[in-house]
Amino acid sequence: MNPTAHAILVFLQTWWVELVCGVVIVAVVPLIAGYVVLVERKLMADMQARLGPMRVGPHGLLQPIADAVKLLIKEDIIPDQSDKLIFWLAPVISMVAALTSMGAIAFGPTFQVARDINIGILFVLGVSSLGFLGIILGGWASNSHYSIIGALRSTAQLVSYETAAGLAIVSALLLSGTLRISAIVEAQQQAGVWFIFLAPVAAFIYLVASIAETNRAPFDLPEAESELVAGYMTEYSGFRWALYFLGEYANMIVVGSVATTLFLGGWLRPFPNVHWLAWLDWLPALIIALIGVYSIHRAGKQPVKVQTGFMWAVGLACFAVAVIFAVPWFVAPLKVIIPGLNGAFWFLLKVSAYIYVFMWLRFTLPRYRFDQLMHLGWYILIPLAIVNVFSVGIAMLLETEFGVTRWLALLLTTIVTLAAAILLVRWHDKRTESASSASLAPESYAG
């Protein structure tokens, strides 16, 4: 490795790089969360045969900025007998929890704020579990009985689904053997296959639990519009509400990146060890260039002149990023940066795919009733997660003791777990059918 490449590597390892990464995260995440909101509204509109925000900027690209300005200007009201200190503190807690848990996430092999701490995934899980403190205090501080009910419901939901998420993560960690994030991704690289294929049931449980944990899609009962108006957020307005809102979206990104690291092979490109697919490394630069071409193509069609200018700017920005991705290929010493850049691209691509699934579920599925929600959590998800941990454990045992190849053992145990799952659900159907009396609303089964 020639001296300049070495210098660059040393340059990347100095201590203040982590500081910069931290600042970047704190500054960029609200912006990203804003644009995630825009993407969600556009997707929702697209699925519902309408256009979504088109007015602010071309194709509504400036909508998040407009939202942010509106929220800043809006006068935030504090309910009179509410607990001032806690009313101010609650949204801050939920935002801080989401951002600090992002610290330990490795967005690429090099780009990680807390330099590869030993308890990687556990840190992320633990700190993001502080988020619901903000929710419960927020509900309590705005002392209207609607928000208290909403806060209690969402906390009960978060606590119960966190156990399920924890167990799902345990079964994935059994495969990787370590908590350190970079080691987990290495394990997936050596195994040559992502953990989602080795432990599919764990991945599914984690998907369901993470949706419930971020209060979204079929599980977004706490702020179910039709009953509790807006759950714990009813009394908040203006910037405070924006904090909660960004906290929720940042949480979604955190949960997405944990799932990507654990199940979708962090920053590995789709077929890491397959050499004849090496051209995949070119893909990031190509995709961004394509986006640039598309935005310039759209620039001509903008009704307002200033929007054409804006679209040109977006196009040129995409081209610049594409160049940044392409340059290291040609300049020899810069070759060492390639894995970092490509890794970050693939990681963000997978996280956005994960979040797309969140949004997709949100638009299609109706909402669970609260008791069904808890029913699904406690009666079906957690026992299934426990059974899954056992089955992955047995698989590992089979592999070490009896030398059964790893994926064959896991295949067997996954079939066993699925059988257990079907039995579990059927047992519940019988129990609910028999117990359902006409007068009292029965525990209708779900899932």
Partner 1 sequence: MLDSVLFYFFGGVAVVGAALMVTSRNAIHSAVFLITTLLATAGIFLQLGAEFLFIAQVILYVGGIMVLFIFVIMLVRLDVALHHIRFRMKSLVVMTVFGVLAAEAGAIIYYARALPGQGLFIQNMAPADKLAPNSEKLAESLFNSYLLPFEIASVLLLVAMVGAVVMAKSKNRTEES
Partner 2 sequence: MGPQHPSTHGVLRVKLKLDGERVRGTECVIGYLHRGVEKIAENRSYQQFAPYVDRMDYVAAVSNGLGYCEAVEKLLNVEAPPRARVIRTILAELQRIASHLVWLGTNALDIGALTPLFYCMREREEILKIFEKYCGARLTTHAFRIGGLQYESYDGFEQDVERFCLDFEHRIQDYVDLLTGNSIWIGRTRNVGMLKAADCIALGASGPILRAAGVKWDLRKAQPYAAYEQYKFEIPVGSNGDTYDRYMVRIEEMRQSRLICLQAIEKIPEGPIMGKVGKVIKPSAGEIYHSIEAPKGILGYYIVSDGGTQPYRVRVRPPSFVNLQALDKMVRGHLVADVVAIIGTLDIVLGEVDR
Site residues (CB under 8 A) for partner 1?
83, 85-86, 89, 117-119, 122-123, 125-127, 129-130, 132-133, 136-137, 140, 148, 152, 155, 159, 179
Burial code of 37-46, b = ≥16 C-beta within 10 A, e = fewer? bbbbbbbebe
Cβ nearer to partner 2, comparing 303 with 366: 366
Using the rule CB under 8 A, is 77 a contact of partner 2?
no
Using the rule CB under 8 A, is 51 a contact of partner 2?
no
Cβ nearer to partner 2, comparing 339 with 447: 447
Q: Which of the listed partners (partner 1, partner 2, none) does 89 bind, with a CB threshold of 5 to 8 Å by partner kind?
A: partner 1
Q: Which of the listed partners (partner 1, partner 2, none) does 27 bind, with a CB threshold of 5 to 8 Å by partner kind?
A: none
Non-local CB neighbours of 153 within 8 Å, separated by 6+ positions: 221, 222, 228, 231, 370
CA 304, CA 310: separation in Å to the nearest integer? 10
* The only residue of 24, 290, 371, 405 in contact with partner 2, by rule CB under 8 A: 371
CA 47, CA 63: separation in Å to the nearest integer? 19
User: Which single residue is written with the structure tokens 């159907």?
Assistant: 429
* The only residue of 7, 365, 408, 415 in contact with partner 2, by rule CB under 8 A: 365
Q: Which of the listed partners (partner 1, partner 2, none) does 368 bind, with a CB threshold of 5 to 8 Å by partner kind?
A: partner 2
Using the rule CB under 8 A, is 363 a contact of partner 2?
yes
Helices marked H in 177-237: 181-191, 195-198, 200-213, 225-228
CA dihedral 117, 118, 123, 124 (to 10 degrees): 70
Helices marked H in 274-369: 283-299, 305-330, 338-364
Using the rule CB under 8 A, is 218 a contact of partner 2?
yes
Non-local CB neighbours of 418 within 8 Å, separated by 6+ positions: 201
Contact at 8 Å (CB) between 148 and 222?
A: no
Cβ nearer to partner 2, comparing 81 with 226: 226
Cβ nearer to partner 2, comparing 369 with 406: 369
Cβ nearer to partner 1, comparing 128 with 307: 128
Q: Which of the listed partners (partner 2, partner 1, none) does 2 bind, with a CB threshold of 5 to 8 Å by partner kind?
A: none
Count the residues of the shown chain that bind partner 2, applying the rule CB under 8 A: 34
* The only residue of 18, 227, 281, 399 in contact with partner 2, by rule CB under 8 A: 227
Reference 147, options 207, 86, 69, 101; nearest CA is 86
| Cα 364 → chain centroid | 19
**Taking each helix axis from N to C terminus, what angle separates 338-364 and 200-213, rounded to the nearest 10 degrees?**
70
Reference 245, options 259, 231, 256; nearest CA is 231
CA 179, CA 173: separation in Å to the nearest integer? 7
Give the number of residues written for the chain.
Answer: 447
Backbone angles phi, psi at 227, to 5 degrees: -105, -60
Min CB(103)–partner 1 separation in Å: 13
Using the rule CB under 8 A, is 369 a contact of partner 2?
yes
Using the rule CB under 8 A, is 49 a contact of partner 2?
yes
Contact at 8 Å (CB) between 237 and 81?
A: no
Cβ nearer to partner 2, comparing 221 with 250: 221
* The only residue of 229, 338, 416, 418 in contact with partner 2, by rule CB under 8 A: 229
Q: Which of the listed partners (partner 1, partner 2, none) does 404 bind, with a CB threshold of 5 to 8 Å by partner kind?
A: none
Using the rule CB under 8 A, is 47 a contact of partner 2?
yes
Q: Which of the listed partners (partner 2, partner 1, none) does 364 bind, with a CB threshold of 5 to 8 Å by partner kind?
A: partner 2
Q: Which of the listed partners (partner 2, partner 1, none) does 370 bind, with a CB threshold of 5 to 8 Å by partner kind?
A: partner 2
CA 239, CA 286: separation in Å to the nearest integer? 39
Strand partners, 112: 106
Using the rule CB under 8 A, is 447 a contact of partner 2?
yes
Min CB(274)–partner 2 separation in Å: 38
Using the rule CB under 8 A, is 446 a contact of partner 2?
yes
Q: Which residues are at the interface with partner 2 (CB under 8 A)?
A: 44, 47-50, 218, 220-221, 224-227, 229, 362-372, 436, 438-442, 444-447
